[in-house]
Amino acid sequence: MKLTQILIQKLTRFWLVSLAAVAFIFLLTAYISFTHLSYKFQNQQVDEIESILVENYAQSGFNQVSPWLPSLLKAFNTESFQLYQQQQLIFNYQDQLGLEHYVQYRVDLDLPQSSHFLIKMAPPYILHRFTMTEWQVLIFGLIAVIVFVRFGYLWYSSQLQGIESLAKRSQYIVMKEYDRARSFKEAIKPKIIDQALTQLLDELEDAQQERSRFDKFIRANTFLDAETGIGNILFLNNRLNALSYEHKMIAHGAVLLIEFEDLELMSKKVGSSQMLELLHLAINGINQLLQAHPDSIFARRNDNQFAIIVPQLSLLEAEQLAAKILKVCLHLPVSPLYQQDNILHLGCAYYKEQDSKAGVVEEADMALRAAQLQGNNTWFMYDKGAVDAEFNRGSVRWRALLEDALTKKRFGIISQPVIDSDDLIDHREVFATVKDTHGNVIKAHLFIPMAVKCGLMPKIERQIIEKILFEVLPQAESSKQYYAINLSLDSLQNKAFVGWLTRILLEYRHYVDQLIFEVSENVVIAHQQQLLPIFKMIKKMGARICVDHVGQQVVSTQYIKLFQFDLIKLHRSIVSQIHMSPENQLFIRSLIGSLYRTDVQVFAQGVESFEEWQILRILGVSAAQGSYFFKPAA
């Protein structure tokens, strides 16, 4: 029931009770007054009879009362009358009024001989009947009361409607739905409160935007190159650390180093503004090529050198990408004042799992030197044969393997616990595995890139969710456990998968509150409008939403509040060696500060040492996962 209806009902009841009390008091007073006046009038009649008898006795005694006294008594509605003189009855009068109750008086006459009379009379008010005029007045009064009460009810409704609107707008604010509260159009009374709320909401929006801008400013000045707007050397090292574990690469990929020959000299010849414009054209062209590789890293290593790291890239794709980058950069409108046939060189090193992180960078440097020794504008690939046979599967063989695993349900799961500040398990993150035809277990970072290329991620993630709902959660009913499941962009863009997910969550709604769905930050940033209704649907079902890999990109954190995420997980590049990185500590402080007064929890990924976990706890991180706590386990 609405607040307005409750208030109106209470006020109306109070009003009616008050009116009833006033009417009761008025009627009681009127009744008492009427009764009192009636009795007073009857007493006057008795006194009048007494005075007439005394006067008549003085003239002729009581012998002459019979002719006139009965008429007088009848006029006064007398039931009986007895006149006594010296205790002898000398006159008696009887009438039949047919009443049950009478008023009796005994009056002693002031005469020489002791005389008195007894008289019974009808109660003064019992014979009264309402006249037509009185009935009309009574009915008119009742109608007036009803009309007045109805008018008051409507008046209260109109006056209190503003309070209801105020309560509704306040409820939006309490629920942190600031956009709905800001766009609220209903009339609010008092208007001064409405104006105050509007002003405070506008200032809150400005403060949030300013906080977001400040947060982005801190991140930009920490991790971005001031001239080009891409990552700097600190950003590059962080991301490279995130792609390795214990100084070993955790997946295959390629490192490309691009070097422009002496940009400072070129700037002197063609002008700094023109040189910077050419540099931006080259960066924009490279960024367009890297859009096909969303996990790629592009950063400025020094004044003349740029680095590109593309994980999960095949050898053939690495070669094709190097050739395309060189082609894009060589088509820049370079001034003829500068030698155009020797301005750009590119070195590429292909790495595989367990390769040394330092060795990969060193091989890329060697490939760059080799390209420079060749002269002209060229690129060079270091050690083209260093490709593991497992990564050299053709896409047809991968599709056959994955489809066969889907049909025979050979996909399994391993989980890694997320530990809170009290050293208790907050939840477990689920990772997919698959067995090949020989029973060998292939981890997710190996088969997922090919599954994405083959368009099989929705089917794989559907099988993983079913395994959690059908097998894992029913076995853990005695101890309630929570599981985080990663969702890919392919699945979220698949209408059939989203429809199936809605149905399965409805069917197993008693388990939904134990599920956490994770999605990468770069996916959320690139597809906000498309993903927002899907996340709202999942939250309405009762599941929680988490965004992971936070910190990979230098973006505003405003999207976290827009999507109302329950959890965010810091990317391992921010967490790695955090105790030795004041820049990363500043980023985390800024991020947690921007989420002040929200219910968002900040977790960390890739914690590998006690020192990292201690610093993260001091900074305000709620929980973490990584090899410091547990290895992923089935």
pLDDT, residue 38, reads 77
How far is residue 161 from each of residues 165, 167, 613, measured CA to CA in Å? 6, 10, 54
Determine, yes or no, domain membership for 222: no
Are 448 and 545 found together in one domain? yes
In a domain, 349, yes or no: yes
Domain shared by 144 and 189, yes or no = yes
Task: Select from 96, 121, 146 the last residue of a domain.
Answer: 121
Same domain for 348 and 290? yes
- Which CATH number goes with the domain that contains 473? 3.20.20.450
Question: Do 430 and 534 share a domain, yes or no?
Answer: yes
Domain edge (last residue) among 89, 121, 153: 121
Q: What is the CATH number of the domain that holds 12?
A: 3.30.450
Q: With respect to residue 338, please indicate whether it lies within any of the assigned structural domains.
A: yes
The C-alpha atoms of residue 212 and residue 222 are separated, in whole angstroms, by 15
| CA 377 – CA 21 distance, rounded (Å) | 102
Mean model confidence pLDDT for the chain: 80
pLDDT digits (tens, 9 = 90+) for 11-31: 777 777 787 788 778 878 877
Residue 223 included in any domain: no
Q: Strands, DSSP E only, in 155-251? A: 244-245, 248-249
- Which tokens sit at 607? 């914690």
Residue 262 sits in a domain whose CATH number is 3.30.70.270
Residue pair 624/418 in contact by the 8 Å Cβ criterion: yes
Number of domains into which the chain is organized: 4
Do both 83 and 175 map to the same domain? Answer: no
Q: Are residues 358 and 241 in the same domain?
A: yes
**Is residue 404 a part of any domain in this protein?**
no
Is the pLDDT score of 390 beyond 60?
no
Kindly report, residue by residue over 147-199, the tens digit of the pLDDT: 877 787 777 667 666 777 777 777 777 777 777 777 777 767 667 777 777 78
Rounded Cα distance between 138 and 149, Å, is 17
Query: Do the domain assignments include residue 634?
Result: no
pLDDT for 418: 93
Residues 501 and 536 in one domain: yes
Both 298 and 421 in one domain: the answer is no
Going by pLDDT thresholds of 50, 70 and 90, the confidence category of residue 340 is low
Q: Which of 432, 430, 454 is nearest to 443 (CA)?
A: 432
Q: Which amino acid is located at 293 in the chain?
A: H
d(CA 221, CA 224): 6
In a domain, 479, yes or no: yes
Q: Which residues contact 276 (CB under 8 A, 6 or more apart)?
A: 227, 267
Least-confidence region, from 8-12, 143-147, 483-487: 8-12
Q: Quick one: 177 and 318 in the same domain?
A: no
More confident: 229 or 100? 229
Domain span at 506: 411-624
Whether residue 283 is found in the same domain as residue 334: yes
Within this chain, do residues 580 and 543 fall inside the same structural domain, yes or no? yes
Residues 80 and 147 in one domain: no
Among the listed ranges 60-64, 200-204, 326-330, 577-581, which one has the minimum average pLDDT value? 60-64
DSSP assignment, residue 190? Answer: S
Output the pTM of the full model: 0.57
513-541 pLDDT, tens digit each:
999 999 988 888 888 889 999 999 999 99
In this prediction, residues 612-624 reach a mean pLDDT of 92
Instruction: With respect to residue 219, please indicate whether it lies within any of the assigned structural domains.
Output: no
DSSP string, 572-627: HHHHTTGGG-HHHHHHHHHHHHHTTTS--EEEES---SHHHHHHHHHHT--EE-ST
pLDDT at 388: 44
Provide the pLDDT for residue 391: 45
Q: Which residue has the higher pLDDT, 219 or 515?
A: 515
Could you read off the pLDDT of 239-249 as tens digits, one per residue? Answer: 787 777 777 88
Which of 121, 141, 167 terminates a domain? The answer is 121
What pLDDT score does 546 carry? 94
